[in-house]
Amino acid sequence: MEELSTQRQRLQLATKLGRRRRRILSEAVLGGITWLETLAVTSAGPRAAVTGVEKMVLIKEYRVVLPCSVEEYQVGQLFSVAEASKNETGGGEGIEVLKNEPYEKEGEKGQYTHKIYHLKSKVPGFVKMIAPEGALVFHEKAWNAYPYCRTIVTNEYMKDDFMIKIETWHKPDTGSLENVHDLDPTTWKTVEVVHIDIADRSQVEPGDYKQEEDPAIFHSEKTGRGPLGPDWKKELLAKTDTPRMCAYKLVTVKFKWWGLQTKIENFIHKQEKRIFTNFHRQLFCWIDSWVELTMADIRRMEEETQRQLEELRKTGQIRGTSAAHEQ
């Protein structure tokens, strides 16, 4: 009987340690994703037909309306991503660009990128000590066949149990189109549509607010656009000569881990909304820096940015968002 009791105690201890390990690993992934997604807003790729609801996933569609044209946005988005990348790289951490090259597949042409995100310093210290090798390294593969784009983010440690997929259509409207991604009716019924207003300060978390990045205050000297008032979308509809567009971002999140899946998938979607909001507020307020650039200018800028990122990651100091001080 004593031996049986000891075996039961060992089993209870092993179960307890297993639960603790799962919780710690999920926190490691969450810490990485929070930072990673601030840079993974450039969704891109060869379009894949979406038929049926994938098992164990949570899908939402975010709609972001902007007072610029679809053509202007292509430049503005790439410019803003390059700037954000430099702000988050240094001291062995940040972004490593493996590939940035044209691609052609099944008659579709675009730009393919493969990036690695090194995030060890971006998470709490206790997570760094316990997280296994590979848990804090994420791969982003993107296919930009603008105006359709697709990005897939994976983690080698989680393998098939983790994925973030962002598919985006950029349309010259104000967000009124339904099911632009051509989902089957059963899947579309499960998708929550989330509208993002870049001029609504109530959608911005207090710690994220910057006056110089507030579309409700900003006025563009080069385009005359802004500031954006409370009814700016309605005014945009009435002004037929003013450019407008909407980014329809279909985000699929998969995190298969018993007992943690729903919590973590909802957390990631909350971060997506926050990041899409902040990024597009910045993009509009930086318009005077990018509106006169060409795609040739952007490609040269990307080459220079890739070189700068490599230097910053190897020799610079740790920069940008971090949760390393948390316990």
> Max alpha carbon distance in the chain (Å)?
85
The residues spanned by each domain of the chain are 19-314
Can you tell me which residue has the tokens 């993974």?
40
Triad 123, 124, 129: Cα angle to 5°: 95
C-beta of residue 222 within 8 angstroms of C-beta of residue 291: yes
Specify the pLDDT at position 51.
Answer: 41
Retrieve residue 270's tokens: 């909350």
Mean pLDDT of the chain: 82
Q: Tell me how far apart the alpha carbons of residues 4 and 79 are, in angstroms, rounded to a whole number.
A: 65
Mean pLDDT of 85-91: 69
Chain segment 17-34, per-residue pLDDT in tens? 445 545 544 554 455 444
Phi, psi for 109 (deg, rounded to 5): -120, 150
Specify the pLDDT at position 220.
Answer: 98
Q: Tell me how far apart the alpha carbons of residues 78 and 86 are, in angstroms, rounded to a whole number.
A: 13
C-beta of residue 147 within 8 angstroms of C-beta of residue 210: no
Specify the pLDDT at position 281.
Answer: 97
Instruction: Quote the DSSP letter at residue 90.
Output: B
Q: What is the CATH number of domain 19-314?
A: 3.30.530.20
pLDDT exceeding 70 applies to what percent of the chain? 73
3-class DSSP state for residue 94?
strand
* pTM higher than the cut 0.85: no
Partnered with residue 103 across adjacent β-strands are: 110
Chain segment 43-62, per-residue pLDDT in tens? 334 444 444 444 569 999 99
